[in-house]
């Protein structure tokens, strides 16, 4: 099995930069069929920015599409297959010394993580945007974003190891399934069979957001996936499909989470 050294990934490197133990690689995979079984000497994030593929690990196959985010710990064996015609991915390679330099415990994150956390995914949407609009402060911004991302993943990993009440995963699934709908507290509480007062008190403890902010982050996550997937619909239609009846609200919420308007983001990442 091949071992890939620091900052080395399959595919063609469109852009690469390094900063204090981080290596950022924007890769394309034109006419790829598969990548053989391999592992990376360093831990890394892989953020799919266009196209689709399948990543296979020992015990699971993971379907990846625009907006998908994975974390692979160092020496995690995997292979890739079923590439669509044009696949691109942003890789963030992190040396163990980089973790240590920020007091981040490298060993507390093991294995592969398919990330379904709108807070963490928004960080990578911003990182990709920053890479596309690179200037004299981008290295500082990118390193700060990666620190935020790893810190959030560590927090998420800790919470996964803490016994959570069953309603937490049920609420998360419900909000993802119905992110574009108008949904009320009593309806959510009834669906998970707990009292609405208790639910409203406990939701911020486990989700670190109010209901409204969490749903808005999911809606922006879905909007970014539409944009990265080069959806044929207009930005107005994307906003509507993601639950924003008011286009100005869509623009304001998108800018609050990503830092730019949907149109500016689309121009930056789809050029």
CATH of the domain at 253: 1.10.10.60
Query: If you average pLDDT over every residue of the chain, what do you get?
Result: 91
- Counting the structural domains of the chain, the total is 2
Q: What range does the domain containing 76 cover?
A: 2-161
Q: Is the pLDDT of residue 22 over 70?
A: yes
**Pair 46, 70: CB distance under 8 Å:** yes
From 161, 183, 202, give the residue that closes a domain. Answer: 161
Report the length, in residues, of the chain. Answer: 271
pLDDT attached to residue 161: 67
Same domain, 103 and 219: no
Q: What percent of the chain has pLDDT over 90?
A: 70
pTM, two decimal places: 0.87
Same domain, 227 and 146: no
The predicted-structure confidence for 128-165, as pLDDT tens digits, reads as follows 999 988 888 999 999 999 999 999 999 888 777 677 89
């Amino acid at each position: 099995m091949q071992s890939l050294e620091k900052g080395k990934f399959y595919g063609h490197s469109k852009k690469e930069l390094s900063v204090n133990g981080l290596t950022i690689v924007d890769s394309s995979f034109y006419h790829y069929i598969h990548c053989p079984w391999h592992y990376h000497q360093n831990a890394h994030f892989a953020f799919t920015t266009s196209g689709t593929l399948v990543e296979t690990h020992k015990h699971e196959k993971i379907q990846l599409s625009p907006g998908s985010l994975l974390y692979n710990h160092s020496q995690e064996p995997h292979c890739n297959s079923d590439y669509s015609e044009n696949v691109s991915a942003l890789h963030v390679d992190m040396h163990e010394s980089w973790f240590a330099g920020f007091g981040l415990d490298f060993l507390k994150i093991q294995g592969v993580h398919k990330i379904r956390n709108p807070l963490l995914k928004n960080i990578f949407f911003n990182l990709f945007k920053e890479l596309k609009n690179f200037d004299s402060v981008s290295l500082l911004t990118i390193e700060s974003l990666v620190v935020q991302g790893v810190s959030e993943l560590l927090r998420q990993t800790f919470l996964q190891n803490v016994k959570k009440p069953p309603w937490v995963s049920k609420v998360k699934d419900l909000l993802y399934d119905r992110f574009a709908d108008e949904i009320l507290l009593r309806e959510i509480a009834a669906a998970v069979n707990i009292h609405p007062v208790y639910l409203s008190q406990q939701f911020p403890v486990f989700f670190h957001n109010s209901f409204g902010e969490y749903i808005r982050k999911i809606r922006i996550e879905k909007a970014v996936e539409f944009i990265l997937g080069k959806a044929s619909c207009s930005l107005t239609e994307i906003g509507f499909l993601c639950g924003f009846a008011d286009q100005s609200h869509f623009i304001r919420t998108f800018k609050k989470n990503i830092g730019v308007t949907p149109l500016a983001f689309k121009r930056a990442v789809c050029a």
